Amino acid sequence: MKTISVLGSTGSIGKQTLEVVNASEGKLKIHALTACSNTDLIEQQIRQFRPEIAVLAEEKAAYELKNRVGDLPVKVFCGLEGMVEASIGEEVDMVVTAVSGSIGLLPTLSALQAGKDIALANKETLVAAGELVMKTAGEKGCSIIPVDSEHSAVFQCINNNRNKVKKIILTASGGPFFGWTLDKLTGVTPGMALKHPNWNMGAKISIDSATMMNKALEVIEAKFLFHADYNEIEVLVHPQSIIHSMVEFIDGSVIAQLGMPDMRLPIQYALSYPDRWDSCFEKLSLAGKTLTFQEPDDQVFPSIRLAYRCGERGGTLPAVMNAANEICVHAFLAGRIKYLEMFELVERACQDHKVQDSGSIDRILAADRWAREYTEELICKKS
C-alpha cells in the first residue's frame, strides 16, 4: 500500500486522483488533502477518505472547516505552512502536486527535502524552479513521476533508455482556436477560451491551452524532467489528443504512447509505477479514427517560441514568464484584459526582467514576485 498526500484535492486533477484512489482497492491510502477555499468539497472528501491532515490555504475557510469536521480526528491547518505540513508527514510515500500555479513550489521542495516521491501535475513549479527541484530530487534520491499526459507518455516511451533518445516530440491539441487568424482572435472571450475541445480541466490550464502557453510551459517541464536540451524537444499539433507524445531514438525508431484523453490514466500510472494496474477507464478503439499532425503556428500563438527563448536564457527568466502568465490569465478571466494582450504582457515582463542566476529559492521567489507586481502594474496602466 502507498500512502499519498494530494495537494489541490478539490481541483480537476485532485478529484480524478481521488477517483483513482477509490478504485485502487486499498492499494492507495490518503494521508492529507489540501485545497484553497472549497470548504464544501473538501469536507465531503474528508468524510469519504478520512485523512489525518486537511488544509485550506485561506484562513477563514480553514477555521470554518475545523468546526465542520470537529467530530473527526482530522487535524486542520491553513496557509502555505499547512501545505508543507501535509507534504512531509513520516508516513507519506508520495505527494501528488495538483495545485495550480507556482504556489506549489515550496510544498514540492519541502516534500523532496523530506525524501518523498512526487507525482507531478503542477508544471508551473518545474518551470519556475526546474534546476533546483531536479537537483533536490537527485540529492535526496526521490523520483518525480509526471502526471501531465505528454510527459507521462514520454516517460513511458523512454522506459529507462534515456541515453538512446534523439528527440522528444510533445503533441499539442492546438486548443480551441487552432487555425484562427489574429483578426478573429481579437473577439475571444473567457467563456470561449474555457471550452477546450478534448479535455475538461481547471480554468487556468484551459486558458493556457487556448494561448498555447500550456505547451510552452510543457517544453520547459520536459527539459527538466528528462534532462534534455531544448534542441531535443519539438512540438507537433495533433488535434485528436490520442497520441499523447512520442520519442525518437538514435536509430530512427519512434515510439508513441496512445490512449483516450482521460487524465485518470496518467494519474494512475504515476501512482502505480513501476507497476500497472487494471482500470475501468474507457479503452481506446482506433478503427475509423483519423490521426492528423501539423506544425504549431508561432506567428499567431507566440507562446512556444517565447518559452524556448526564456528556457535557453535560463536563470530566473522562466519563473518570470510563468508568473507574468499567471497574472495575465487571472486578469483575462476577470475581464480586465483582452485575449491578445496576454501575449503582449507576458512578453513585455520577460523583456524587462533583469535575469539572475536561479540557484537559490529566494532568487526564484523574488523573480516570481517581481513579475507579478510588474505585470499587474502594466495591466493597471492599460485600464
Residues in contact with Mg ion by the rule CB under 5 A:
148-150
Distances, alpha carbon 78 to alpha carbons 17, 19, 268, 280, 327, in Å: 22, 25, 28, 35, 23
Task: Tell me if 311 contacts ligand NDP by CB under 6 A.
Answer: no
- # chain residues binding ligand NDP, by CB under 6 A: 28
Q: What is the dihedral of CA 69, 70, 75, 79, to 10 degrees?
A: 70
C-alpha cell at 285: 478503439
Task: Tell me if 63 contacts ligand NDP by CB under 6 A.
Answer: no
Distance CA 376, CA 331 (A): 9
Considering only CA atoms, give the Rg of the chain: 20
Q: Which is nearer to ligand NDP, 14 or 302 (CB)?
A: 14
Candidate residues 28, 137, 172, 263; the one interacting with ligand NDP per rule CB under 6 A = 263
Task: Tell me if 99 contacts ligand NDP by CB under 6 A.
Answer: yes
How do beta strands 165-172 and 243-249 pair? antiparallel
Q: Is residue 323 within 8 Å of residue 375, measured between CB atoms?
A: yes
Task: Tell me if 151 contacts ligand NDP by CB under 6 A.
Answer: no
Q: Is residue 244 within 8 Å of residue 149, measured between CB atoms?
A: yes
| Only segment of 7-15, 84-92, 241-249, 302-310 that touches ligand NDP (CB under 6 A) | 7-15
| Only segment of 86-94, 95-103, 324-332, 362-370 that touches ligand NDP (CB under 6 A) | 95-103
Q: How far is the CB of 214 from ligand NDP (least distance, A)?
A: 7
Q: Is residue 87 within 8 Å of residue 5, measured between CB atoms?
A: yes
Task: Tell me if 103 contacts ligand NDP by CB under 6 A.
Answer: yes
Distance CA 137, CA 143 (A): 7
Residue 249 parent element (H or E): strand 243-249
Within 157-176, the residues that bind ligand NDP by CB under 6 A are none
Task: Tell me if 85 contacts ligand NDP by CB under 6 A.
Answer: no
Task: Tell me if 11 contacts ligand NDP by CB under 6 A.
Answer: yes
Distance CA 272, CA 264 (A): 12
Task: Tell me if 281 contacts ligand NDP by CB under 6 A.
Answer: no
Q: How far is the CB of 1 from Mg ion (least distance, A)?
A: 29
Q: What is the dihedral of CA 31, 35, 37, 42, to 10 degrees?
A: -50
Q: How far is the CB of 41 from ligand NDP (least distance, A)?
A: 7
| Only segment of 36-44, 45-53, 314-322, 349-357 that touches ligand NDP (CB under 6 A) | 36-44
Distance CA 177, CA 197 (A): 10
Within 115-134, the residues that bind ligand NDP by CB under 6 A are 121-124
User: Residue 55: CB partners within 8 Å, gap ≥ 6?
Assistant: 32, 33, 34, 35, 62, 76, 77, 78, 79, 82, 83, 85, 86
Cβ-closest residue to Mg ion? 148
* Contact partner at residue 302 from ligand NDP, Mg ion, none, CB < 5 to 8 Å by partner kind: none
| Only segment of 98-106, 137-145, 317-325, 343-351 that touches ligand NDP (CB under 6 A) | 98-106
Q: How far is the CB of 298 from ligand NDP (least distance, A)?
A: 22
Q: How far is the CB of 44 from Mg ion (least distance, A)?
A: 27
**What sign results for the dihedral spanned by CA atoms 84, 207, 209, 323?**
negative
Cβ-closest residue to ligand NDP? 11
* Contact partner at residue 205 from Mg ion, ligand NDP, none, CB < 5 to 8 Å by partner kind: ligand NDP
Q: Which residues pair with 221 in a beta bridge?
A: none
Q: How far apart are the first and last CA of the chain?
A: 54
* Contact partner at residue 347 from ligand NDP, Mg ion, none, CB < 5 to 8 Å by partner kind: none
Within 16-35, the residues that bind ligand NDP by CB under 6 A are 35
Distance CA 346, CA 332 (A): 12
* Contact partner at residue 8 from ligand NDP, Mg ion, none, CB < 5 to 8 Å by partner kind: ligand NDP
Rule CB under 6 A: which residues touch ligand NDP? 8-14, 35-38, 57, 98-100, 103, 121-124, 148, 199, 201-205, 263
